[in-house]
């Protein structure tokens, strides 16, 4: 049978040029998008990660949305909002024509119920902390109070939602574009089981109800998710796409081949080995842009000799970062001399790590290791991946050449590596961080004493105080001044070694229009459309 | 024969029990857990999630619970994909692997037996060296090279097929060829050996002396004996083919079972690991049994003992 199939297809295949899926899609406004992996869930209280976020962005809409060009905050399910002069009370006015895909109106009560569900301790939501700026939200989430009326969320009437914060949080609106702030149809969820059940099947096609520009039609695991334009979306006139196929192909090589055979309109990441080729020979098919993400090494400051600040500084100073970005990464990455990506909501750290080999040698000598003498062999830990290995090898070589110290490399499988990092069972370990929202706090909050993602054993009372001070002030200049001081401490103490800021080498067919690059790599599916190619 | 089959099935029970037990404890001994992620979750949230899936109970109690569930055919929930059960995921993905494996098997048998039989009939001629050389190449070229090569030629240059995906009938061709080629090569070499041995037997010479033609000798007299080595190989090979190939599924973006087998372990998706291991084990056991039955049927010298 297979042989017949082969022969038949070979014969058929020979007849004329086939119209590719990308070309068909351009005629019918059906976008085919590689989404890098199979989403684990599309329930905002369960999902984590950008893969899930991309699908939810098509299906649900929060109070505010982000403009895809500059990530400025735009009205979403809320038409407008007022902020009290002390910055503690946000009053959102919902649109009168907001509808769920089952035709019911979207009300302030829906948002309240969604936030309550997100914060229910029994829900075990990993992103519940995104709602912590709300008064008493943390206490409710940790089960210290059980009365949700005490949490700063009130539905004043069907169309008015009032949020009360415990501190003025200037980045609140920026945080609200995250899916943890999306509404969910709690009444519908209840129909399929307990609302705090992680495994509730309300997210299945046929069950799913959303308020976004698209509705869920099909979800075949590891094959595709299909969403179609929603007839009940308040702004449906602006939506030009009829369908979006989210393709879960995980292998970047396979995805790139699918792009080349014109099965996909866009692939978020070209294989690193092909970025240079595309940039040189097919520049119209690739767009390389910075992301809000940093690649760095964490240092376990509890282990000698890494407990000596001078050793950490010496290691950070004896690296040629540009050599790493230009000879290993080669996708336009910028070397990082501090943690927070430059220009994050107008904030750029003023303290830079110096690359100075003589000074590094001097520091190492002061720490008791002149010329690298007697320096114990330390280990670099990374999760098994080719480019992590290449970077670690480069660093190993630089440290040997510049400081005459020996570093050995140790790779571990992903979950083992996570466990080692978490239990401080390492000397130096590779790390990466993607900002959840555009604000320096999403990077700098990480290194407060005892922070879940600190994982360096580093603790500094001055740093903690500055981070607290920044989050308590509504004045942007004062906040950023506090962050500058905090990051200066971080770059002096060096519990981390920043290496580079990530970029996105995205492949795009020329038919794709209305898409804009941004640091969160956030899609605006309302604006994207396709045009058939003329030639 | 019935007693033979019944006995073999009974022998399977302790085998599966040992596999399930070993899988359970090996998985739990591995460092890292299903809820570890790059962004750490708070201890409270982690405790809630572990409680939800019963991972907060003592290990031995968890073991007994899972064994009880397995006895009732319940493979449990997937951690990685909340809201989906392992039974459901396997039921979804297995038909895809089965189809791909079936097509690859057809490719392997047609090409492999064909080449092997011709080579044995025309020993030491171009008809022998040509196909056997190709078979050697087929064995040496791994699927992760063969797949991209076929895609490069037939999908990207000639544009006859899609580069990956599993939507249209034509999407089956390249993965089936990629997966089938290795097995075809193996079968070709086994078949050549098997047929050569049989064709040198006295009874074949007698048949020739009686004037039987080449085709008649091959299919009527030599076939049953000649394919014996192939049949022994096919038992475990078919199990491997039909339960999916991680490499081929990854290269061609096929929503089959093979990739769960690997990714479940990386994700520490405990129930998914157990489910896929047991599913594969059952398959291997059943197909080995089937191969044994066919062998006895083909070779009267063997008995159901």
Please tell me the predicted confidence (pLDDT) of residue A6. Answer: 47
Coil, strand, or helix at residue A6?
Answer: helix
Check residues A282 and B30 and name the one with the higher pLDDT: A282
Q: Assess whether pLDDT exceeds 90 at residue B42.
A: no
Residues in contact with A227: Cβ distance below 8 Å, sequence separation at least 6, in sequence order: A55, A58, A59, A214, A215, A216, A217, A243, A244, A246
**Which element (helix H / strand E) includes A154?**
strand A153-157
Token pair listed for A386: 């080719």
Q: Assess whether pLDDT exceeds 50 at residue A467.
A: yes
What's the order of all strands across the beta sheet hosting A160-164? A78-83, A89-94, A160-164, A153-157
Cite the DSSP H helix spans in A404-521. 414-422, 441-444, 461-472, 476-493
Q: Assess whether pLDDT exceeds 80 at residue A5.
A: no
pLDDT in tens, A373-406: 999 999 999 998 888 999 999 999 999 999 999 9
φ/ψ (deg, to 5) at A92? -100, 135
Is residue A176 within 8 Å of A161, Cβ to Cβ?
no
Please tell me the predicted confidence (pLDDT) of residue A12. Answer: 46
Please tell me the predicted confidence (pLDDT) of residue A424. Answer: 93
Q: How confident is the model at residue A415 (pLDDT cuts 50, 70, 90)?
A: confident
What secondary structure does DSSP assign to A504-517, as a single string?
Answer: EEEEE-TTEES---
Q: Assess whether pLDDT exceeds 80 at residue A164.
A: yes
Q: Which residues of B touch A126 (CB under 8 A)?
A: 37, 39, 41, 45
**Which element (helix H / strand E) includes A33?**
strand A30-34
Q: What is the mean pLDDT of chain A?
A: 92
ipTM, two decimals: 0.87
Q: Assess whether pLDDT exceeds 50 at residue A11.
A: no
| Stretch among A160-174, A275-289, A339-353, B278-292 having the lowest mean pLDDT | B278-292
Q: Assess whether pLDDT exceeds 60 at residue B24.
A: yes
Q: Which residues of A touch B266 (CB under 8 A)?
A: 413-415
Q: Assess whether pLDDT exceeds 70 at residue A14.
A: no
pLDDT in tens, A300-313: 999 999 999 999 99
Q: How confident is the model at residue A2 (pLDDT cuts 50, 70, 90)?
A: very low
Average pLDDT of the segment spanning A205-221:
96
What secondary structure does DSSP assign to A456-471, as a single string?
Answer: S----HHHHHHHHHHH
Please tell me the predicted confidence (pLDDT) of residue A287. Answer: 96
Compare CB distances from A453 to B39, B172, B266 and report the shortest one's residue. B39
CA distances from A267 to A254, A284, A462, B302 (A): 10, 14, 44, 57
Compare CB distances from A10 to B32, B92, B160 and report the shortest one's residue. B160
d(CA A118, CA A517) in angstroms, rounded, equals 30
d(CA A44, CA A182) in angstroms, rounded, equals 7
Average pLDDT of the segment spanning B264-277:
92
b/e sequence B135-173, b meaning 16+ C-beta within 10 Å: beebbebebeebbbebbeebbeeeebbbbbbbeeebbbb
Q: Assess whether pLDDT exceeds 90 at residue A68.
A: no
A383 → chain B, closest CA residue: B38
**Is B45 close to A126, i.e. CB distance below 8 A?**
yes
Average pLDDT of the segment spanning B242-263:
88
pLDDT in tens, A86-140: 889 999 999 999 999 999 999 999 999 999 999 999 898 888 989 999 999 999 9
Q: Which residues of A touch B253 (CB under 8 A)?
A: 247, 249, 251, 254, 258
Average pLDDT of the segment spanning A442-450:
92
CA angle A437, A443, A449 (to 5 degrees): 130
B35 → chain A, closest CA residue: A415
CA distances from B133 to B94, B112, B197 (A): 34, 13, 20
Written in H, E and C, the secondary structure of A189-219 is: HHHCCCCCCCCCHHHCCCCCCCCCCEEEEEE
Check residues B134 and A464 and name the one with the higher pLDDT: A464
b/e sequence A239-270, b meaning 16+ C-beta within 10 Å: bbbebbbbbbbbbbbbbbbbbbbbbbbbbbbb
Whether A38 contacts chain B with CB within 8 A: yes
**Pick among A180, A222, A426 to test the B interface (most B CBs inside 10 A):** A222
pLDDT in tens, A497-532: 999 999 999 999 999 999 999 999 999 999 999 999
Most confident of B46-50, B250-254, B291-295: B250-254
**Pick among B44, B45, B157 to test the A interface (most A CBs inside 10 A):** B45
pTM for the model stands at 0.90
pLDDT in tens, A51-63: 999 999 999 999 9
Please tell me the predicted confidence (pLDDT) of residue B304. Answer: 64
Q: What is the mean pLDDT of chain B?
A: 87
CA distances from A125 to A47, B35, B49, B277 (A): 8, 12, 9, 30
Please tell me the predicted confidence (pLDDT) of residue B305. Answer: 58
Q: Which residues of B touch A416 (CB under 8 A)?
A: 30-32
Q: How confident is the model at residue A535 (pLDDT cuts 50, 70, 90)?
A: low
Whether A273 contacts chain B with CB within 8 A: no
Maximum pairwise Cα distance, chain B: 85
CA distances from A1 to A164, A463, B97, B169 (A): 67, 70, 17, 12
**Pick among A9, A127, A250 to test the B interface (most B CBs inside 10 A):** A9
Average pLDDT of the segment spanning B141-161:
92
Please tell me the predicted confidence (pLDDT) of residue A364. Answer: 95
Q: Which residues of B touch A121 (CB under 8 A)?
A: 44, 48
Average pLDDT of the segment spanning B287-291:
83
């Amino acid at each position: 049978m297979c042989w017949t199939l082969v022969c038949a297809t070979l014969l058929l295949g020979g007849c004329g040029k086939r119209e590719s899926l990308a070309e068909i899609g351009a005629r019918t406004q059906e976008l085919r998008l590689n989404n890098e992996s199979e989403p684990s869930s599309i329930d905002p209280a369960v999902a984590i990660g950008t893969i899930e976020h991309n699908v939810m962005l098509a299906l649900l809409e929060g109070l505010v949305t982000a403009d895809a060009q500059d990530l400025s905050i735009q009205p979403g399910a809320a038409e407008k909002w007022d902020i009290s002069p002390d910055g503690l009370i946000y009053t959102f006015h919902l649109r009168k024509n907001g509808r769920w895909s089952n035709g019911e109106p979207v009300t302030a009560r829906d948002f309240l119920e969604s936030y309550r569900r997100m914060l229910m301790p029994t829900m075990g939501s990993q992103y519940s902390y995104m709602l912590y700026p709300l008064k008493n939200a943390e206490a409710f989430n940790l089960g210290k109070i059980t009365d949700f009326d005490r949490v700063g969320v009130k539905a004043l009437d069907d169309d008015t939602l009032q949020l009360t914060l415990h501190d003025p949080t200037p980045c609140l609106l920026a945080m609200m574009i995250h899916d943890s702030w999306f509404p969910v149809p709690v009444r519908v969820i209840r129909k399929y089981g307990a609302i705090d059940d992680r495994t509730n099947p309300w997210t299945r096609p046929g069950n799913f109800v959303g308020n976004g520009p698209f509705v869920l039609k099909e979800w075949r695991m590891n094959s595709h998710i299909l969403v179609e334009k929603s007839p009940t979306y308040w702004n449906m006139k602006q939506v030009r796409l009829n369908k979006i196929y989210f393709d879960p192909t995980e292998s970047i090589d396979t995805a790139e081949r699918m792009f080349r055979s014109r099965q996909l309109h866009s692939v978020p990441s070209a294989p690193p080995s092909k970025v240079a080729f595309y940039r040189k020979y097919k520049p119209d098919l690739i767009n390389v842009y910075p992301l809000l993400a940093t690649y760095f090494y964490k240092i376990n400051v509890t282990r000698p000799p890494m407990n000596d600040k001078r050793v950490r500084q010496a290691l950070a100073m004896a690296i040629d970062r540009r050599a790493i970005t230009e000879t290993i990464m080669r996708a336009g990455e910028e070397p990082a001399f501090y943690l927070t990506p430059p220009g994050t909501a107008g904030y750029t750290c003023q303290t830079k790590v110096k690359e100075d080999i003589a000074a590094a040698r001097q520091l190492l000598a002061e720490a008791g290791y002149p010329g690298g003498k007697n320096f114990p062999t330390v280990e670099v830990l990374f999760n098994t991946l080719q480019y992590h290995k290449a970077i670690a090898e480069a660093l190993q070589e630089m440290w040997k050449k510049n400081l005459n110290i020996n570093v050995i490399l140790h790779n571990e499988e992903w979950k083992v590596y996570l466990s080692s990092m978490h239990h401080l069972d390492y000397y130096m370990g590779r790390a990466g961080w993607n900002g959840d929202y555009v604000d320096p706090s999403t990077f700098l909050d990480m290194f407060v004493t005892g922070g879940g993602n600190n994982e360096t054993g580093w603790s500094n009372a001055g740093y903690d105080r500055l981070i607290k001070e920044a989050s308590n002030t509504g004045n942007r200049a004062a906040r950023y001044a506090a962050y500058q001081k905090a990051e200066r401490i971080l770059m002096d103490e060096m519990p981390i070694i920043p290496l580079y800021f990530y970029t996105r080498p995205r492949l795009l067919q020329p038919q794709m229009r209305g898409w804009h690059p941004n640091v969160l790599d956030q899609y605006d599916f309302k604006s994207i459309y396709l045009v058939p190619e003329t030639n | 024969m019935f007693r033979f089959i019944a006995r073999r099935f009974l022998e399977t029970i302790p085998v599966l029990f040992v596999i399930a037990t070993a899988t359970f404890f090996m998985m739990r001994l591995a460092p890292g857990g299903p809820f570890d992620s790059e962004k750490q979750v708070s201890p409270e949230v982690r405790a809630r999630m572990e409680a939800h899936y019963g991972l907060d109970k003592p290990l031995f109690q968890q073991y007994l619970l899972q064994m009880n569930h397995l006895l009732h055919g319940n493979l449990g929930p997937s951690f990685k994909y909340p809201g989906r059960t392992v039974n459901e995921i396997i039921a979804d993905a297995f038909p895809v692997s089965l189809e791909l494996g079936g097509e690859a098997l057809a490719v392997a048998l047609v090409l492999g037996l064909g080449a092997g039989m011709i080579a044995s009939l025309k020993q030491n001629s171009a008809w022998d060296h040509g196909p056997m050389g190709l078979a050697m190449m087929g064995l040496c070229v791994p699927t992760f090279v063969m797949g991209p090569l076929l895609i490069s030629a037939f999908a990207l240059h000639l544009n006859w097929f899609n580069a990956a995906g599993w939507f249209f009938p034509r999407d089956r061709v390249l993965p089936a060829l990629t997966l089938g080629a290795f097995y075809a090569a193996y079968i070709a070499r086994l078949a050549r050996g098997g047929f050569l041995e049989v064709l040198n037997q006295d009874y074949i010479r007698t048949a020739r002396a009686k004037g039987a033609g080449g085709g008649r000798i091959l299919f009527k007299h030599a076939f049953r004996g000649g394919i014996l080595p192939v049949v022994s190989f096919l038992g475990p090979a078919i199990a491997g083919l039909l339960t999916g190939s991680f490499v081929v599924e990854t290269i061609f973006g096929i929503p089959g079972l093979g990739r769960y087998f690997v990714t479940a372990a990386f994700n520490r998706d405990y129930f998914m690991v157990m489910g896929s291991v047991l599913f594969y084990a059952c398959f291997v056991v059943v197909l080995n049994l089937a191969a044994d039955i066919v062998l006895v049927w083909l070779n009267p010298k063997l008995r159901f003992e």
